[in-house]
Chains A and B, each alone.
Chain A
């Protein structure tokens, strides 16, 4: 990472800390901001965050590894999370899963080589009455069908370049 990028990163973090407060209760909102902007939390980020919040880096690491929506490793710019809990399972989420794997050419837990899509399982998204449910970054899609998977993916592909997803930026890490 370039020095200037590091400085930029540190500046961003300091700004978020100023916004959310400088004690440990600001940890999750700050991490969410980093995740939104950089799509993952690097070791460097964790140490800077710990420093600014006056806690230990290992505590930040513990929190980051606890939550599935905050990631240690770089992920695709679109993270697709398909619900695997029982209601969605009964409403045919396996067909959606197969469709996604087919269209993207990757398995669950993987990222496309171009770094655009990551496929993951999620637990109940609270949309059980309208399953199968699926999240793309922070947008929820319900009653997904194999056909609508196409459309959703197309929409994502079209969104490249245009900043549809707020705060999004290429990840410098």
Chain B
């Protein structure tokens, strides 16, 4: 596929990229490696490697605060200072590219004192009590205070808050009293996500992280992705936590509390209990949830499969309209709509493209609507007594379930969105050590899931699931005939933007499910289905600009967008910290779970087949399914008045 973007520039804007030290790929071209001695250990590194990177290679630990693997270098906190022989001042190791042989000492008296001083100064402005803070035991500032033996406040400690906590956003809460001005959130929002909500204003001791016009976060263009939360070293940013309400619902005997669990939290929740990243705890979690008091535990994969059917049908309908009815009003490419961060991004920055968004709701919301209608009827429950909780890796899901239009069941379809971190908290409150739980399965009638639902958690997963289904429903062949083990690898991986083309050579009969909508598939013969995948809103922006310019993305039929880098497994509600390695480990856990399922294609899910025979009898994209499972979007624009 045409390289309309250059891989290097696929993320950061120029201004920020200049601050990043990429080790040159061709070290031969600029001469030899440089030698560096760190605490007496000598090694050779490519020119431009920072002292911090070099010291990691020899196993020397240098503390950091403003540095983050996903972000460009800032060099603002100075906690990483080291002594470079021959230089009068200490140097910030994260921002010092090695260009000549140097000798570095990382824990001399001067260095230790400087770091301790920096900590003392940070704490002199840090209002907050660790035991009343959600980052207790998971806070980089707290950890460093311990590491450097802070046992009194040399420069004092604030006794009163200086700022009001901003609780205006349904997703992200900002408590600037705990902020240490490391600017990781700023770089996350501007450089990594390219949304541009946060910046630092003023100068010196009046500096503060602010939004445009210092407006409440709920009133600006924040897409609720929560990526800033995951990269904040302290408790200054946190998700809006509804656990108290969830406990109250559980403790209320008149309420029937059901929880649906998304694929990504299972791959991550172990990290909250001290496990290595990438250990899935799906079935242990089911047991733990029942012990916490949830009445039913369902698998969001069911509604992920449902999404695939609805969204896939919508795609086929669009294709039919364009190819057969020659309808000029049909918009291509169709965009996925399961990532609420991406949806809000599109509403703010590309409102003219809302017609491209699939009208299908996200799996979370579809499930809510199905539970409060179909499930309620099936079990003779009054929907007003059902409380639906969604366990999501995501902070934007909290915003999504509060969107006013998400009440198609006649009630609020999803009552509460919980993040992985919040559920881990609830589980430990219940006195449960999750990894030690016995395993148990999901509850019926939605128990059986397919592998296609699971891979929704990784970038490319929705596309892979959709392709599996479309190939089988349209071509009448097994996906395995085209791709070994039904693994559609071209759409997998972590490249920012990925393309795939699928020529449709022959077609099969129209399956029972879609008989009401299509007579045959003959009109698709000879067509080539072009799809693309983008993750992280910075890459989404690249794709959108390319579509506007009429580039290769504009020729696609279907594009998957995920707001978070890595897809949901890197979501803003996942355990902290995050890094490329951690996300890769979670992805491995998700694909391993997919491979372990017997049924791996959405349309083969027996629960889905049952739903369409018993409830949505008119089939996908019918009147009832449009009422319950589809939605409309709000053009928001980016101007703030």
Residues in A lying within 8 Å of B, measured CB to CB: 24, 43, 46-47, 55-59, 61-62, 65-66
Q: Is the CB of A24 within 8 A of B15?
A: yes
Q: How far is the CA of A55 from the CA of B639 in the complex (A)?
A: 13
Known: A61-B212, A62-B199, A65-B210. 4 other contacts (CB 8 A): A57-B638, A59-B199, A65-B201, A66-B201
Residues in A with CB closer than 8 Å to B199 are 56, 58-59, 61-62
Residues in A with CB closer than 8 Å to B190 are 56, 58-59
Question: Can you list 9 residue pairs at the A/B interface with Cβ under 8 Å?
Answer: A24-B15, A47-B639, A47-B640, A55-B196, A58-B197, A58-B199, A58-B210, A58-B211, A66-B203
How far, in Å, is B204 (CB) from chain A's closest CB?
Answer: 10
How far, in Å, is A84 (CB) from chain B's closest CB?
Answer: 16
Residues in B lying within 8 Å of A, measured CB to CB: 15, 190, 195-203, 210-213, 638-641
Q: Is the CB of A61 within 8 A of B210?
A: yes
Tell me the nearest residue of chain B to A47, going by C-beta: B639
Q: How far is the CA of A58 from the CA of B213 in the complex (A)?
A: 8
Residues in A with CB closer than 8 Å to B201 are 61-62, 65-66
Residues in B with CB closer than 8 Å to A56 are 190, 195-196, 199
Nearest 10 A-B pairs (CB), nearest first? A56-B196, A62-B199, A65-B201, A58-B199, A58-B212, A57-B212, A62-B201, A65-B202, A43-B213, A61-B212
Tell me the nearest residue of chain B to A66, going by C-beta: B203
How far, in Å, is A68 (CB) from chain B's closest CB?
Answer: 9
Q: How far is the CA of A66 from the CA of B202 in the complex (A)?
A: 4
How far, in Å, is A75 (CB) from chain B's closest CB?
Answer: 18
Q: How far is the CA of A65 from the CA of B203 in the complex (A)?
A: 8
Interface centre among B202, B212, B641 (most CB of A within 10 A): B212
Residues in B with CB closer than 8 Å to A59 are 190, 196, 199
How far, in Å, is B88 (CB) from chain A's closest CB?
Answer: 27
Residues in A with CB closer than 8 Å to B212 are 43, 46-47, 57-58, 61
Q: How far is the CA of A137 from the CA of B15 in the complex (A)?
A: 32
Tell me the nearest residue of chain A to B198, going by C-beta: A58
Q: How far is the CA of A62 from the CA of B198 in the complex (A)?
A: 9
Residues in A with CB closer than 8 Å to B200 are 62
Tell me the nearest residue of chain B to A61, going by C-beta: B212
Q: How far is the CA of A141 from the CA of B212 in the complex (A)?
A: 36
How far, in Å, is A158 (CB) from chain B's closest CB?
Answer: 36
How far, in Å, is A59 (CB) from chain B's closest CB?
Answer: 6
How far, in Å, is A61 (CB) from chain B's closest CB?
Answer: 5
Q: How far is the CA of A43 from the CA of B638 in the complex (A)?
A: 13
Q: How far is the CA of A65 from the CA of B210 in the complex (A)?
A: 11
